[in-house]
Amino acid sequence: MELAIEALSLQKRYAEVQAVAGINLQIARGEYFGMLGPNGAGKTTTVAMIYCFLPIEGGELYVLDMDVRKQARAIKARLGVVPQENNLDEELTVLENLLIYASYFGIDRQTATKRALAQLEFFELTAKQHVDVEALSGGMKRRLTIARAMMNEPDILILDEPTTGLDPEARHYIWQHLKQLKKTGLTLLLTTHYLEEASQLCDRIVVLDEGRILEEGQPAALITQHVGATVIEATLPQREHDSLLQTVQALLNGYMVIGETLYLHPGYNITTVLAKVQEHSKVETLTQRPANLEDVFLKLTGRRFGGA
């Protein structure tokens, strides 16, 4: 397997905080790889080391078989980077943004124009090409930032929270574009808060918390392994939890408690568990839904994804 990115006990600390506490990553070429984690998990710090913005502090890091400590310039020439915060040239037009960005790579004007028009076409921004960036919507700005990152025809596209703050429609729109790029053999490294985003796009994910990798695998496999297909949510007063659990515990793969809510993982015993919960007189609300990555996260950390 040819590796796009390899990190060996990678570390980074800011004055007080150990932001990345020794992580190992192996991302294959052509893979769509996701880093999931709550605020402050160390996602941005990790990807910023990969795109050679932050110097690494401990461990080793190779990108496209090059050492980030020695070959930053050559690595950066092969990357496309979409940072967490938009940093387009607001005073310039959409097209100018792409052309200027291409000039940073030393791409000649003619090639740059050709690529820029193709990218605008692909990201459906052609109609906006002569509009100043200031006037674009959030979703369009994000698409333009991705288009910009594609100007050097990168081997690896790094996206730090590409859809945070966008409405669901704009988000799906971006996913659709990113999925199409997979055919070109692109490697994608994505950080996200959205478990759905990771499930939709990624072949493989890691769950990161407090600078450590908690779990790694295919999204669906992680869900099956840790939770099972279905989750039953029941709310009832906390003092009644034990009495309910006594009746169902033997049937469960596992469960989680957050406040008044019980998250039951019934595995294959869905109907039996559901019946028992319905019988319990103190249950106030009851829902059955497909398990998702949030449940995995909850199980792994005992916390909700938002950190609450």
Partner 1 sequence: MHNYFQAFLSLNRYAWRVFARNMAVFKKTYKANIAFNFFEPLLYLAAMGMGLGAFVGSINGISYVQFIAPGMIASSAMWAASSECTYDSFVRMKMEKIYHAIVVTPINLHEVIAGELFTGTLKSVLYGSVILLVITGLGLVTSFYALLVPFVLLLCGIIFSELGMIWTGLVAKIDSFSYFFTLIITPMYLFSGVFFPIEALPDIVQTVAWFLPLYHVVTVLRSLVLGLISPALFGHILWLLCFAILIFPLPLLLIHKRFIK
Ligand X SMILES: Nc1ncnc2c1ncn2[C@@H]1O[C@H](COP(=O)(O)OP(=O)(O)OP(=O)(O)O)[C@@H](O)[C@H]1O
Burial grade of 296 (CB within 10 A; 0-12, 13-18, 19 or more): buried
Binding mask 149-178 toward ligand X (x if CB under 6 A, else -) reads ------------------------------
Q: How far is CA 173 from CA 166, 177, 192, in A?
A: 10, 7, 16
**Shortest Cβ 48–Mg ion spacing (Å):** 9
Q: How far is CA 101 from CA 25, 49, 73, 178, in A?
A: 29, 21, 16, 20
Tokens of 139: 């979703």
Q: How far apart are CA 177 and CA 182, in angstroms?
A: 9
Q: How far apart are CA 301 and CA 304, in angstroms?
A: 8
Does position 269 interact with ligand X (CB under 6 A)? The reply is: no
Degrees, nearest 5: CA angle 304-305-308: 50
**Shortest Cβ 82–Mg ion spacing (Å):** 12
Partner residues linked to 36 by β-bridges:
192, 207
Backbone angles phi, psi at 214, to 5 degrees: -90, -35
**Shortest Cβ 58–partner 1 spacing (Å):** 15
Binding mask 32-71 toward ligand X (x if CB under 6 A, else -) reads -----x-xxxxxxx--------------------------
Q: Which of 9, 104, 176, 284 binds partner 1 (CB under 8 A)?
A: 104
Sort strands 32-36 and 187-192 into parallel, antiparallel or unpaired: parallel
CB 176 within 8 A of CB 184: no
**Shortest Cβ 210–Mg ion spacing (Å):** 14
Q: How far apart are CA 106 and CA 101, in angstroms?
A: 9
Q: How far apart are CA 188 and CA 34, in angstroms?
A: 8
Q: Between residues 152 and 230, which has the closer beta carbon with respect to partner 1? A: 152
Binding mask 205-244 toward partner 1 (x if CB under 8 A, else -) reads ----------------------------------------
Q: Which of 14, 104, 105, 268 binds ligand X (CB under 6 A)?
A: 14
Tokens of 11: 């570390």
Q: Between residues 290 and 307, which has the closer beta carbon with respect to ligand X? A: 307
**Shortest Cβ 266–partner 1 spacing (Å):** 47
Binding mask 74-93 toward ligand X (x if CB under 6 A, else -) reads ----------x---------
**Shortest Cβ 41–ligand X spacing (Å):** 4
Residues that bind ligand X in the complex, under the rule CB under 6 A: 14, 17, 19, 37, 39-45, 84
Residues that bind partner 1 in the complex, under the rule CB under 8 A: 14, 51-55, 72-73, 76-77, 79, 81, 83, 85-92, 96, 100-101, 103-106, 152
